[in-house]
Structure 1
Amino acid sequence: MFNSVICSLKAQCNEKDTNTLLHFKQGVTDPSGLLSSCFPELDCCHWTGVKCDNITGRVTQLNLPCHINHPKVVDYGEKDDKSNCLTGEFSLNLLELEFLSYLSRGNPPHLCGNSTNLHYLDLSYNYNRLVDNLHWLSLTMLPSLLELHLESCQLENIYPFLQYANFTSLQVLNLADNDFASDWLFNLSCDISYIDLSQNEIHSQLPKTLPNLRSVKSLILSHNYLKGSIPNWLGQLEQLQELVLSDNFFSGPIPASLGNLSSLIELILDLNELNGNLPDTLGQLFNSETLRVGGNSLTGIVSERNLLSFPKLQRLYIGSPDLIFNFDPGWVPSFQLLRIGLGYVRDQLPAWLFTQTSLKYLSILHSTASFEPLDKFWNFATQLEYIDLTNNTIHGDMSNVLLSSKFVWLASNNLSGGMPGISPQVTVLNLGNNSLFGSISPLLCDNMTDKSNLVHLSLGHNHLSGEITSCWNNWKSLVLIGLQSNNLTGKIPHSMGSLSNLRFLYLGSNKFFGEVPFSLKNCKNLRILDLGHNNLSGVIPSWLGQSVKGLLLRSNQFSGNIPTELCQINSIMVMDFASNRLSGSIPNCLQNITAMISSYASTRRVVFTVNLTGIPVHIYCNIWMLIKGNELAYVDLMNVIDLSSNNLSGSVPLEMYMLTGLQSLNLSHNQLMGTILEEIDNLKQLEAIDLSRNNLSGEIPESMSALHYLAVLNLSFNNFVGKIPTGTQLGSTNLSYIGNPDLCGAPLTKICPQDDESHDTKPREEEDDDEKSEVYSWFYMGLGIGFAVGFWGVLGTT
């Protein structure tokens, strides 16, 4: 790529090319002044992004770079800031530049022309330009095209074009991160060397016979839905240097034929369903720098014998539940790794690990190995930039440990003692689900003289106690704070309002009391606020920002009305106010919450990405829901309203029935009156509804039978009358209807008079006694928060 041009003074820009570029400039909007150098009185060969032939003066290369702002922290679904990029209609045919061989980031969806010299075309990352077909690309250009880059364009309808395209000279094809679903590439008839179809929707199997790919050097098919066995013909691709099949559904053994690929540099097969032993033939891959086979179901023994022939190895990922590590304690490898990922290690860590003085990334997962002596291990860890130890059995006191890596993920181990120390370069810190105890003040308040870069702080599910500390002014870079499920007490400090970057605040399941501090109004970027299961009081905050997706206030002492200001936050998807002291009526403005109207929202996933040096780290925040005694974790937010166990009165407002994307509704244990409206059939996404223990009356509307996703229904202990509507989802159990003396029909034993007036039934008094004896404890919905991490450094190819 180039940013400027140096042209020979002997050749001026061709007049026809100059006019073509000037007309192009007139048809676009240029907010960053990218084309500001394009003035008629200047030679176009001196314009930024233009390169000319030194002899003829004809334009041969045109680079229209988009200077994208990549923020340090990005929410899931949030696109890069492209406000500085060219926009508008391209009114002139750039491809009238008949000697143009290189066009990058132009993204001209309406271009057409007759140039046969175009060799390089890059339209990647133009998801906001609707590049959904290539009809503008003349078939006469294809024979000369060497590189075609269409990564992250949200392509949907280009398969017919690609299927019949005559790419006789194509060498590089990049269709990564689209909606491509075809295995068309195996029919290519050109000597292609680079193919990237990763992160698409390909569900097929790889062909069993060798396609025309003998010239391919890079074959990247990761993050698809490919299945079946890995074919042996891959071992015949003698020029192959990079094979990436990770994160698919491949099964069967790793083909021994892959050992024939003497030129192979990267072999990435992790996160599949592969089984069997690690083939001995892989020891023939002398040039390999990356070997990744973790996250499969491999068996057998791995020892130094498997790794003796890898002098250039830099990245190693290996580990399966039934794979046994058996290394000689005295073995010293000939390689020096940059990254290593081990899984299911028993007994002791491999001794050779501590000889890796160049190591920057270490991941050890699901292991029962002893990390002792711990002093040796933590001293070794000081050289690391990224350390991920999850679900291991590490014992020991952390209070004397200084953590200095940028990324520290030590969740779900047996770590104990007080808070460790952290250095200013720590950006992500997760010590959740351990046995740490004591105050968090030593971590947050002691010896912080340098500016902190901490973005993620997770200490949830430990035994921490005391007050939450007021030292938050030193931590203004924080985006996520997770302190849930501890024994913390006191009031939420006002200093938390200084965290202007805060998006996720989890303080649930502690012993906090008092009101929610008004200073949190300054946290305008809050996405999730979890204060449930505390002793907080006062009124529900009405000053929340417009970005809130989840508001969890369950099991506190909040009182007063539900503020109507919440209806102005159209992003809310989870509204959980259960088990408080709320009174008054349900607001009649809920239809303004547009997130609960959509049946699917692209922003459901509670994920944010931290852009560390060279490696984006994706951090997932799970929503835990308890339904019918089954606790399930949801990575994607559901549309949930839970106002149960309060003192709400009045009727269920008509506007509630306008929330067509609502998936779970719990209004039980209140004092609601009125009827269920026929409009309830608008809530076609409903999976659970609980209206029990109220004063609702009237007939159950027939329209409820249209709720085909409904799996949980509870209308018990109200004043409903008449016949229960037919429908399998409404008739699964009589527990849904008990406590309504005037209801009849299946699944109740009481037969409706219109069905059988002569049928002998129990006396009313006996039936009432039977209903009251039923145990009503089956329906309870709760929300909690947990964390998981998706680390691109483990799943990626670099």
Structure 2
Amino acid sequence: MAFQFLWVLVFTVLLAFGKANSILSEVCNPDDLQGLTSFKSGISYDNSGRLEKWAGLSCCQWEGISCDNTTGRVTQINLPGFITQEGLVLQTQMQGSLSPSLTLLSSLQVLDIGGQFGLSGSIPTSIGQSLPNLQKLILYSNILTGPIPESIGKLSKLEELALHENHLSGSIPPSLGGLKNLKRLFLHTNNFSGVIPGGVTKLTNLVQLDLHANSLSGNIPEKIGDLQTLKELDLSENLLGGNIPNSISNLTSISVMYLDQNSLEGPIPFPSSPGQLPLLGFLRLQNNHLTGKIPPTFGNLVSMERLSLENNKLEGEIPSSFGDLSSLSELYLHGNQLSGQIPESIGQLSKLIMLTLSNNLIEGPLPPQMSSLQNIQTLDLSFNSLKLFSIPKWIAELPFLSRLYLAGCRIEGKIPEFLQNTPSPIQELDLSSNNLTGSMPTWLGKLSRLYSLNLSRNSLDSEIPDSISNLKYLGVLDLHSNNLSGSIRRVLEMGSYLTYIDLSNNNFLSGIEEIADSEEDFEIRFLNLSNNLLQGKLPNSIGRFKSLQSLDLSSNRLSFGLPDAIASLSSLNTLKLQKNRFTGEIPDGFLELRKLKELDLSDNLLVGEIPKGKPLSDFPATSYKGNKGLCGKPLKPCM
């Protein structure tokens, strides 16, 4: 008692000389000191080194700590990513536990320990009672577990709650509806389940609501439209069902709305009249079960920039009012049941850079007004009822077009030469599933920026031109199901960008011996040469394809033994060598193919005992049938 009296006396004297604030900044409140020290002791690793400097009693001087100038109590803990002397923003990595002792800091207004990628534990159950002044609770990108405490609803001053990218689970507590001052609520990328509590619609100051990437079910709250200040709404990647509430049209401030990848049903209920959702610029409704027609009033969404309705069950014609969306840059309508013709008004979308209409029932002809899409970069009209017969020349004259997909559009004849002289270099070209005939043109080698070429499912009947080796950036080559012949050598000699090759179902005779015959590194992950006429020996150089995940050489005339080098393809998960003439024993090294999920060595001339052990013993007998000299599990025991 005497010591306390003496301290008060000294403080009073100092106050008279204006030095109280100095003392308050130097002496940490005991509860604050205990809470901060306990938090520090629970951290086993901190790559920023900031917590190492937390020493002594002057906690208000510690990095990341702010105090009230009058009371001296800790009001803020800010430990987000930090900036180096070079100006680079780095992520602080912490490993350890979230200490319940943080609740001793009763004056705390901001708790920001987000982006640590390693802070474990659970949110203290007493947080609501212990931190009554908290305005921001930011704990995102950690490994926190357990539920959100019900007491969190007592943080009446809370304006921002950011718990996203953790491992939190359970239901979203209804008590959140009591946080009347809340402006930002981020709970996405966790393991929350159950329904979205109706109390969320009482948060009338909410500006951002993000619950995506959880397992939330039930319906979207019917009164979601009461959130008049809401600008961003993201409920995507959940298990939500039912209809989209009609009240959603009342969100007068909304600019971003993501409801995609759920199980939403029924029609799109907005906009029902002009003037609704005047600021909506980004709308994603894809990958649901929406039905009915696209509302003809969509043209009233005058601020729309990106619109995604793909992979639903929408039907009817594309509304001509789309032409009124003058700010639209991306339009995704593929994977529906849309019919009729493309409206001429589409040509008015001068800012459009992306248009995907594939996998619908749209009929031809293409309106010539589409030639006015002077900024279009990607055009996908594949698998409709267009019956183009030929590619309109104006398509190749679009100044910025680089990705063209016209698969299944009933194009006939030769590949048109004007595709070699487009104003913008073609990067992806898909003319598959058409009626193309004749040769693969030599001018294909001039498409120097080409990354993906798909000419599969046509009637091309030439050899692969030597000029294809000029395509240095080619990553995907799909020529399957044609009448191509000759050698595959040029393809197998190509550069390191190739990751996907499908030459199956053709009449190729030779070139298998050139596999990996160059000095370059190879990143091929998928190689399908099945159903050809290839013969000879599979070389050991196949082992250079270290990234190979799927290898299919079935239904050819390959002979000699299976190369030991296949055992070095440690990423392989599919190996199909059936219906060839391979001889000898299965190499013991095949037991090293730990990732192998699919194996077929049937109908060859293999002999001897199948190497004992996984994964070979796990495959069914059908993987080895038709080899009269083979024995051992899963076939009959060897004699």
**What TM-score does the superposition give when structure 1 sets the normalisation length?**
0.62
- Tell me the distance in 1 between the aligned counterparts of 2:38 and 2:582: 65
Separation in 1 of the partners of 2:48 and 2:620?
Answer: 43
Match of 2:293 among 270, 277, 281: 277
Name the residue aligned to 2:608: 584
Q: Secondary structure at the match of 2:146?
A: coil
Contact 2:230–2:253 (8 Å) recurs in 1: yes
Percentage of identical aligned residues = 23
Deviation at 1:486, TM superposition (A): 2.0
Q: Please give the residue correspondences for 1:317-396 in structure 2 after superposition, counting only pairs within 5 Å.
A: 317-318=332-333, 320-325=336-341, 327-328=343-344, 332-333=347-348, 335-343=350-358, 344-369=361-386, 370=388, 372=390, 374-380=392-398, 383-396=400-413
- 1:467 equivalent to 2:487? Answer yes
Instruction: Indicate conservation of the 8 Å contact 1:310/1:335, yes or no.
Output: no
Cross-structure match for 1:62: 79
Q: Deviations over 1:46-80 (max 9, x none)?
A: 999x586897897553213799xxxxxxxxxxxxx
Residues 638-666 of structure 1: per-residue CA shift (max 9 Å, x gap)? 999611111244453xxx5xxxxxxxxxx
Bigger RCO of structures 1 and 2 (CA < 8 A, at least 6 apart):
1
CA distance in 1, matches of 2:203, 2:305: 28
Distance in 1, Cα, partners of 2:381 & 2:23:
61
Measure the CA separation in 2 of the matches of 1:513 and 1:250. 53
With over 3 angstroms needed to count, the CA separation of the structure-2 counterparts of 1:186 and 1:257, relative to structure 1, is farther
- Residue 348 of structure 2 aligns to a residue whose secondary structure is coil
Match of 1:183 in 2: 195
Classify 1:144/1:584 alpha carbon distance in 2 versus 1 (closer, same or farther; 3 Å).
farther
Return the match for 1:438 from 462, 468, 477: 462
User: Partner amino acid for 2:601?
Assistant: F
Deviation of the 1:470 alpha carbon = 4.4
Shift of 1:385: 4.3
Q: Please state whether the residue corresponding to 2:379 is helix, strand or coil.
A: strand
Q: Which residue of 1 aligns with 2:43?
A: 27
Q: 251-260 or 519-528: which moved more?
A: 251-260
Corresponding position of 1:662: none
Residue 418 of structure 1 deviates from its aligned partner by: 0.6
**2:546 is matched with which residue?**
524
Alignment of 1:714-753 (within 5 A): none
Cα displacement string for residues 459-483 of structure 1 (whole angstroms, at most 9, x for unaligned residues): 2223322111246555112222222
Say whether 1:254 aligns with 2:268.
yes
2:434 aligns with 413
- Mark the CA change 1:396 to 1:87 in structure 2 (over 3 Å): closer, same or farther: farther
SS in 1 for 2:173: helix
User: For 1:644, which of 614, 617, 625 is the aligned residue?
Assistant: 625
Q: Distance in 2 between matches of 1:11 and 1:334?
A: 66
- How has the CA–CA distance of structure 1 residues 463 and 40 changed in structure 2, closer, same or farther, with 3 Å as cutoff? same
Q: Specify the alignment match of 1:514 in structure 2.
A: 536
**Do the aligned partners of residues 374 and 282 (structure 1) sit closer, same or farther apart at CA in structure 2, a change above 3 Å counting?**
closer
Contact 1:172 1:195 (8 Å CA) reproduced: yes
* 1:245 aligned residue (259, 281, 287): 259
Q: Deviations over 1:312-334 (max 9, x none)?
A: 222223364352126348x8516
Whether the 8 Å contact between 1:303 and 1:325 is mirrored in structure 2 is no
Letter of the 1:427 partner, please give it.
Y
What is the rounded CA distance, in whole Å, between the counterparts of 2:440 and 2:500 in structure 1?
21
**In structure 1, distance between residues paired with 2:62 and 2:433:** 57
Match of 2:112 in 1: 102
What is the match of residue 289 of structure 1?
A: 305
Shift of the 378–405 alpha-carbon distance from structure 1 to 2, 3 Å rule, reads same
When you count helix as a share of all residues, which structure comes out higher? 2
Residues in 1 aligned to 2:414 and 2:94: alpha-carbon distance in whole angstroms: 57
Alpha carbons of structure 1 residues 18 and 168: separation in structure 2 relative to 1, 3 Å: same
The whole-number CA distance in structure 2 between the counterparts of 1:405 and 1:490 is: 30
Q: For residue 574 of structure 1, report the CA deviation from its aligned partner.
A: 0.6
Q: Which of 477, 496, 515 is residue 457 of structure 1 equivalent to?
A: 477
In structure 2, the gaps of 5 or more residues are: 1-21, 85-89
The whole-number CA distance in structure 1 between the counterparts of 2:27 and 2:222 is 55
Of 266, 279, 290, 1:263 maps to 279
Q: Note the C-alpha offset of 1:358.
A: 1.9
2-side partners of 1:466 and 1:246: how far apart?
47
1:309 to 324, 336, 361: 324
Q: Is 1:139 aligned to 2:160, yes or no?
A: no
> Alpha carbons of 1:397 and 1:145: their partners in 2 closer, same or farther (altered >3 Å)?
farther
Is 1:162 matched with 2:177?
no
Deviation for aligned residue 1:575: 1.2
CA distance, structure 2, for counterparts of residue 587 and residue 272 of structure 1: 48
Residues 102/203 of structure 1: CA separation in 2 closer, same or farther (3 Å cut): closer
Amino acid at match of 1:461: S
Tell me how many residue pairs correspond in the alignment: 575
Could you tell me whether the CA contact under 8 Å between 2:371 and 2:394 is conserved in 1?
no
Say whether the 8 Å CA contact 2:196–2:218 is kept in structure 1: no
Question: For residues 644 and 472 of structure 1, do their structure 2 counterparts lie closer, same or farther at Cα, with a shift above 3 Å needed?
Answer: closer
Match of 1:291, SS state, is: strand
- 1:490 paired with 2:513, answer no
**What secondary structure is seen at the aligned counterpart in 1 of 2:242?**
strand
Query: Cα 1:216–1:588, aligned 2, differ >3 Å: closer, same or farther?
Result: same
Q: Deviations over 1:344-382 (max 9, x none)?
A: 3312223232212222232223223227454332232x6
Secondary structure at 1:325 match in 2: coil
1:478 alignment partner, SS class:
coil
- Equivalent residue letter for 2:365: Q
| Contact 1:145 1:167 (C-alpha < 8 Å) held by counterparts | yes
Report the CA distance shift for 1:135/1:210 in structure 2 as closer, same or farther (over 3 A): closer
Q: 1:105 Cα deviation (Å)?
A: 0.9
CA RMSD between the two structures = 4.2
DSSP 3-state at the match of 1:228: coil
Find the aligned partners of 2:557 and 2:27 in 1 and give their Cα distance. Answer: 77
**8 Å contact 1:119–1:147 — kept in the other structure?**
yes
What letter is aligned with 1:434? Answer: N
CA contact (8 A) 1:303 1:328 kept: no
- Secondary structure of the structure 2 residue equivalent to 1:352: helix
Q: Which moved more, 1:106-115 or 1:504-513?
A: 106-115
Shift, 1:109, TM fit: 2.1
2:503 is aligned with what amino acid?
L
Inter-CA distance 425–550: structure 2 relative to 1 (3 Å threshold): same
Instruction: State the alpha-carbon separation in 2 of the partners of residues 230 and 517 from structure 1.
Output: 59
Amino acid at match of 1:108: L
Q: Answer yes or no: is the 8 Å Cα contact 2:316–2:337 preserved in 1.
A: no
CA distance in 1, matches of 2:491, 2:224: 64
Corresponding residue SS for 2:542: helix
Letter of the aligned partner of 1:365 in structure 2? S
| Change over 3 Å in CA distance of 1:645–1:347 after alignment to 2 | same
Q: Which amino acid letter does the alignment assign opposite residue 347 of structure 1? A: G
Task: For 1:118 and 1:537, locate their aligned partners in 2 and report how far apart those are by CA, in whole Å.
Answer: 73
